[in-house]
Every structure is written in structure tokens, then in C-alpha cells.
């Protein structure tokens, strides 16, 4: 007998052979042999297998999809049983999608024939829906109208920056049984306080519930003010965590039409899609055949009047200096679609609609136990594409994709609590002295905020993140010993004194980032993380003096002070051996 591991889906079919989630829902929480037997007769379910992972102990995941399915078809010769083969169509994708739409089906999954099996999202497997469905948190319900029992409509929300945002309500899609079951689920969760950040006036007299229920809703589109149009209830989803239902992470997937950016490029304050042909800012020079620049006159820095167009223009001009520091590195973004005082959110995953010419890489994350599809530093066009999405700041990893676990530099992040910048300078000078005594060369830059970053380039593919962190901790400890009055390595913020400067060595961890050199920051004045010469530390430094408008004069005068940091690789092997030898003696 063959043994196999299959990938597939359990479905219930209607009289036309179409699958519907609301058909299978009544079977999810059944108990008792009699109830299950009755449901099995009334609502039979089937397992449709669409992939084969293992066969008789052999791992097939690296084989091309088309070969895996050929073997799978032989394992399931007919489709009369409860395990069935999910057939496919090769080619003619547009025509097939049109036929799926005509028959009222949910959509198609397009897969590359030669693709390997991946246990995560992949650019080689794309889900394309004919209608939009998504998962929403239930935050309350309105009173019933007329002869309807229990409630009128469910109030729906999605999380944004920890707040539950009201996105609409649905009263369609319920029959009497579903109303009864929904009422039973809602009653224990009733509370006096609304879970939403804000709600429209017309639903303020609703009954509120704790945001613990998630439902699936079908809808036609998102309105410009981010409300659901024609939502229809499909069923509750006990398998979805409410906190996974977020507005920020999936705006493009939730129906807002993307331009050529990787996020929502509408005006998110008033919801309208601007005419980009009228949106050209005077003096805006970047050109790219791959990108349609949008909302260029949107103000990103209100005090200074700097716009999104100014940001893109800056990245265009700084790209020859910046790209070498981003090249081949995974990037983490914090997006500000409405400027520095608007809502912001971090983004690591490249959305499914990211253009094929954008460089991405799927990298395993132990924190979330899945692959994350990172943008990888590449070229000018990609840099401008990222800026066009509302991303102000560049946050690269300390390692490159060729050697993910081996950083090619380590960093000391000198972070004041409330200390003046002069104290940060003083700590930096002592840090340099310690490194000088070790015969190591270091490269300082402003953080672009209130601190200083000191970089130490190390040999490529030589040291682990643990190696550089251990070394950085030892150096930081020496700095604190020499400047106990103002320097600290206390990790707990509340235990630090206001006048102290935190010598942060814990940034040297896989996946952690600091703002890149030449990266703008989302702060008043549009400051830039700017390379410094150690000689400049002899006099007061004003980090606010380095901005997206002023830095080019500095480059003309001093050149690229961080250019050597790309090639000045240094060996810290001897220091690590000494440190570990001392630790070994202490442990004995």
C-alpha cells in the first residue's frame, strides 16, 4: 500500500458541483455520532488533493509541480470517492478565468508548472479572485428590523496600529439557522464599551461585543473612504485570529486598486484617486519607464513643505551613493502614506502584485515561523519604486543574501534618552578610542534622529551575528567603564537615567536594522543619516543641519565619507578568541 502526504482542501459541493464555505460551516463544530452521521448524509464533504509532497517516504517537494501532479493523478485514478484529484488546465489562462467568472466561481489559482512546493506564499502561485472575500472582526451588532430575529447587521472592523477600525456592516447572507447560531456566539461577548476607535453616528446605539469573532465576507469593492460595498456574510471563521485581520498589511489584497507601488497610492485622507498627470511638482526630475509616479504634491514634511515628489527626487539624486550600501541586502520598510504625522506601519512582505522586475527573496523567519518575501536592495528604479509607495526610510540588514547569517559589519547605536547631542559625541569619541587601541578602524554617521551610529566593517562570510554581538558587547562595556557618568548598557528603558547615552550593541542580531547611511528620516526638517569625519567631533555637531536639501553641498565638499566602509574589512578573530577564553576561565 502506498503512503503519501497530500496537500488539498476539504469542500462541500452544491447541486451544481460548486464549493461554498457556508455549506461546510454547519459541519465544523458538530459533536455526537448521530449528528455527524446525519450531516454526512445531508452535506457530504470531499478532500480535493492538488499536490503531492511525499510518496512512500520520498520527498517530492523539489520536483516540478507538473511532475508531482502526474504522480498524484495515478494515485487517485477516479473521482468517485471522498478523496478526489483536483484537475487543472494548462495555458489559456485569460480564457479560463473568463469561464470561471461566467460560472460564478470564486476564482483561480495560477501556478508555474516547474515550481517547487513551498510552505508559504510564492510569486509562482497566485490566487486570482473573481469576487472579493476577506476576513473581518465582529465588533457589535445593530437591532433587528421588522420580523427579523436577534440582530439586524454585524459591525465589521480591521486592525490598524492596534486600533479596530470600523469598515462597514453586513446583514445579508443569513438564514434563520445562521441568525440563531450567530446570536448564540455573540451573546456571551456583549460588553458596554465599543471596541472600535470610532464609529459612524448611525450605529452608535448598537450593541457592542468583545472583538473575538472573525467572519468571512464577500463584497464587490472598497469605497474610497475604505468601507465595504455590498458585503454579504459567508460564515464565521474560528481558525482565524482576530489580530491577523489588519488593514495595513493587506490593503492591495483587499481591493484598493494599486498603481505601480506596493501599497495604497490613493489619498488616504480623503480617499480619492488623484489625476497623476496633474500631479507633477515643479522641478521634479526623476524619470523611469517602469514607474508611474503618483501623488507627487502630497506634503510629507508639513513644517518644511517638502512633498513626496521631493522625497523621490532626493532618492534619485542620492542613489549612486546609497545603492552600494543597500545592494543584496533584505530591506525593512516603515511606510508613511500621509507624511510624517500620518499613520505609519512597518512592512517586510512584498505583496503579491509586486512587479516581476523588482528583486525579492523569500527568507525564513523563526519569529513568525514562515517565509517572508523581502525586497532586496538592487538598483535606482527599485529605489524610486519603494519611495513612490510612501516609504521614507531605508532599513537594510547587516548581511547580504549571499551569506544571510554572516554580517559584513557591526554597529554601535549611541542613543540618548534626553541627553544633549554633545554627550552623544563624547561617548562616540571614547568608543573610537577603544577601537583605535584594538587597531580597528570605525566609521561614524548621524542616525538622522538624535543619536550616532558607529560602523565597524568586518571580513565577509567570516563571522556570525553572535560573534559580532559578543564583540560589540565587550567594547560597549569598556566604554561604560570609562564613562560611567553618562554611558550605559542598561537595556530596560525605565532604569536609564535621563542624562545617559545608551550604547546599544543589541542591534547586531539577524533581522534587526538601523537606518541606512544617506537615508532620510520621518522627522521635522527631513534630516538624513549622514557620514561624519572623526575630526568633526572636536566641535559641536548639529545633526539637524544634514537634510535632503543640504546634504549634496556636503557631498560636493567632502565626497562619500562612507565609501571605505564598503571595502575596509577587518578581522576580529583574535579578539573573539581572547573574549571566549576569558569567559571559559570565569565559568570554571
Higher pLDDT residue, 197 or 39?
197
247-251, 487-491, 577-581: least confident range = 247-251
Higher pLDDT residue, 481 or 130?
481
Whether 409-574 and 4-126 are alike in CATH topology: the answer is no
130 burial (CB, 10 Å; 0-12 / 13-18 / 19+) is middle
Residue pLDDT, tens place only, 65-97? 999 999 999 898 777 788 999 999 888 787 787
Residue pLDDT, tens place only, 413-427? 999 978 999 999 999
Q: Tell me the CATH architecture of domain 132-247.
A: Beta Barrel (2.40)
* Whether the Cβ atoms of residue 137 and residue 216 lie closer than 8 Å to each other: no
Q: Is the pLDDT of residue 246 over 70?
A: yes
In this prediction, residue 121 carries a pLDDT of 66
What's the CA gap between 452 and 9, in Å, rounded? 53
Q: Which of 346, 349, 347, 400 is nearest to 372 (CA)?
A: 349
The CA-based angle 193-197-198, given to 5 degrees, is 95
Strand-pairing partners, residue 5, are: 54
- Written as nine digits, the cell of 326 is 543597500
Residue pLDDT, tens place only, 524-583? 999 999 999 999 999 999 999 999 999 999 998 889 999 999 999 999 999 999 888 776
DSSP state of 285: -
Domain ranges of the chain: 4-126, 132-247, 260-396, 409-574
Q: Exposure string (b/e) for 289-310, b if CB count within 10 Å is 16 or more?
A: eebebbbbebbbbeeeebbbbb
Would you say the C-alpha torsion 31, 36, 42, 45 has a positive or negative sign?
positive
Give the mean pLDDT of 181-191: 94
In this prediction, residue 281 carries a pLDDT of 42
Give the mean pLDDT of 516-528: 96
96-110, 240-254, 486-500, 516-530: least confident range = 240-254
Q: Which of 551, 516, 547 is nearest to 305 (CA)?
A: 547
Give the mean pLDDT of 145-155: 84
- Report the percentage of the chain scoring pLDDT > 70: 89
Task: State the average pLDDT for the chain.
Answer: 85
Would you say the C-alpha torsion 348, 354, 357, 361 has a positive or negative sign?
positive
What's the CA gap between 570 and 458, in Å, rounded? 4
In this prediction, residue 193 carries a pLDDT of 93
The CA-based angle 350-239-103, given to 5 degrees, is 75
Residue pLDDT, tens place only, 312-323? 999 999 999 999
- Written as nine digits, the cell of 381 is 528604479
In this prediction, residue 90 carries a pLDDT of 87
* Whether the Cβ atoms of residue 131 and residue 218 lie closer than 8 Å to each other: yes
Residue pLDDT, tens place only, 429-480? 999 999 999 999 999 999 999 999 999 999 988 999 999 999 999 999 999 9
* Whether the Cβ atoms of residue 27 and residue 44 lie closer than 8 Å to each other: no
Q: Is the pLDDT of residue 194 over 60?
A: yes
In this prediction, residue 260 carries a pLDDT of 34
Residue pLDDT, tens place only, 342-397? 888 888 888 888 888 899 998 988 777 788 999 999 999 999 999 999 999 999 99
What's the CA gap between 251 and 389, in Å, rounded? 12
> H helices of 212-291, where?
none
- Written as nine digits, the cell of 158 is 480591521
Q: Tell me the CATH architecture of domain 409-574.
A: Alpha-Beta Complex (3.90)
* Whether the Cβ atoms of residue 283 and residue 173 lie closer than 8 Å to each other: no
In this prediction, residue 224 carries a pLDDT of 66
- Written as nine digits, the cell of 481 is 567603564
Torsion angle in degrees (nearest 10) through CA of 478, 483, 484, 490: -60
Domain 4-126 grouped into CATH 3.40.140.10: no
Q: Is the pLDDT of residue 482 over 90?
A: yes
Higher pLDDT residue, 464 or 105?
464
* Whether the Cβ atoms of residue 293 and residue 312 lie closer than 8 Å to each other: yes
- Written as nine digits, the cell of 60 is 517530492
In this prediction, residue 327 has a pLDDT band, given cuts at 50, 70 and 90, of very high
Amino acid at each position: 500500500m502506498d503512503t503519501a502526504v497530500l496537500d488539498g482542501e476539504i469542500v462541500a459541493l452544491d447541486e451544481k458541483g460548486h464549493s461554498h464555505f457556508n455549506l461546510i460551516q454547519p459541519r465544523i463544530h458538530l459533536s455526537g455520532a448521530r449528528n455527524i452521521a446525519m450531516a454526512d448524509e445531508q452535506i457530504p464533504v470531499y478532500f480535493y488533493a492538488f499536490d503531492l509532497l511525499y510518496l512512500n517516504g520520498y520527498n517530492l517537494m523539489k520536483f516540478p509541480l507538473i511532475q508531482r501532479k502526474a504522480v498524484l493523478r495515478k494515485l487517485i485514478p477516479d473521482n468517485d470517492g471522498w478523496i478526489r484529484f483536483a484537475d487543472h488546465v494548462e495555458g489559456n489562462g485569460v480564457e479560463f478565468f473568463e469561464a470561471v467568472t461566467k460560472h460564478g466561481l470564486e476564482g483561480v489559482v495560477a501556478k508555474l508548472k516547474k515550481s517547487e512546493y513551498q510552505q508559504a506564499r510564492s510569486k509562482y502561485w497566485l490566487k486570482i479572485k473573481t469576487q472579493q472575500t476577506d476576513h473581518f472582526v465582529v465588533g457589535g451588532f445593530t437591532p433587528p428590523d421588522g420580523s427579523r430575529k436577534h440582530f439586524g447587521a454585524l459591525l465589521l472592523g480591521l486592525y490598524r496600529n492596534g486600533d479596530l477600525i470600523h469598515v462597514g456592516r453586513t446583514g445579508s447572507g443569513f438564514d434563520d439557522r445562521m441568525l440563531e447560531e450567530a446570536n448564540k456566539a455573540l451573546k456571551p461577548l456583549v460588553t458596554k464599551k465599543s471596541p472600535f476607535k470610532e464609529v459612524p453616528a448611525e450605529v452608535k446605539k448598537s450593541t457592542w461585543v468583545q472583538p473575538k469573532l472573525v467572519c468571512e465576507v464577500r463584497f464587490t469593492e472598497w469605497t474610497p473612504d475604505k468601507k465595504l460595498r455590498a458585503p454579504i456574510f459567508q460564515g464565521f471563521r474560528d481558525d482565524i485570529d482576530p489580530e491577523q485581520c489588519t488593514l495595513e498589511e493587506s490593503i492591495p489584497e483587499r481591493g484598493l486598486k494599486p498603481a505601480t507601488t506596493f501599497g495604497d497610492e490613493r489619498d488616504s485622507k480623503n480617499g480619492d484617486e488623484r489625476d497623476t498627470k496633474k500631479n507633477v511638482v515643479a522641478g521634479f526630475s526623476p524619470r523611469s519607464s517602469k514607474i508611474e509616479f503618483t501623488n507627487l504634491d502630497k506634503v510629507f514634511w508639513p513644517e518644511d513643505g517638502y512633498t513626496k515628489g521631493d522625497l523621490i527626487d532626493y532618492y534619485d539624486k542620492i542613489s549612486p551613493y546609497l545603492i552600494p550600501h543597500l545592494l543584496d541586502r533584505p530591506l525593512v520598510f516603515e511606510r508613511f502614506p500621509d507624511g510624517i504625522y500620518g499613520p505609519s506601519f512597518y512592512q517586510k512582505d512584498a505583496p503579491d502584485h509586486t512587479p516581476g522586475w523588482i528583486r525579492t527573496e523569500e527568507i525564513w523567519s523563526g519569529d513568525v515561523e514562515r517565509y517572508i518575501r523581502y525586497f532586496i536592495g538592487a538598483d535606482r528604479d527599485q529605489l524610486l519604486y519603494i519611495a513612490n509607495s510612501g516609504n521614507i526610510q531605508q532599513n537594510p540588514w547587516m548581511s547580504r543574501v549571499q551569506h544571510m547569517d554572516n554580517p559584513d559589519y557591526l554597529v554601535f547605536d549611541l542613543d540618548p534618552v534626553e541627553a544633549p547631542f554633545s554627550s552623544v559625541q563624547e561617548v562616540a569619541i571614547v568608543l573610537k578610542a577603544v577601537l583605535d587601541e584594538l587597531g580597528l578602524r570605525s566609521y561614524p554617521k548621524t542616525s538622522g534622529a538624535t543619536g550616532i551610529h558607529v560602523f565597524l566593517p568586518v571580513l565577509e562570510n567570516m563571522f556570525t551575528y553572535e560573534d559580532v554581538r559578543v564583540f560589540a558587547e565587550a567594547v560597549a562595556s569598556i566604554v561604560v567603564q570609562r564613562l560611567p557618568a553618562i554611558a550605559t548598557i542598561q537595556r530596560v528603558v525605565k532604569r536609564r537615567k535621563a542624562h545617559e547615552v545608551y550604547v546599544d550593541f543589541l542591534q547586531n542580531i539577524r533581522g534587526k536594522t538601523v537606518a541606512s547611511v544617506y537615508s532620510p528620516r520621518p522627522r521635522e526638517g527631513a534630516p538624513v543619516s549622514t557620514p561624519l569625519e572623526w575630526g568633526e567631533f572636536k566641535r559641536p555637531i548639529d545633526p539637524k543641519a544634514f537634510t535632503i536639501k543640504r546634504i549634496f553641498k556636503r557631498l560636493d565638499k567632502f565626497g562619500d565619507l562612507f565609501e571605505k566602509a564598503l571595502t575596509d574589512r577587518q578581522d576580529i578573530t583574535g579578539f573573539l578568541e581572547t573574549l571566549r577564553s576569558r569567559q571559559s576561565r570565569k565559568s570554571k
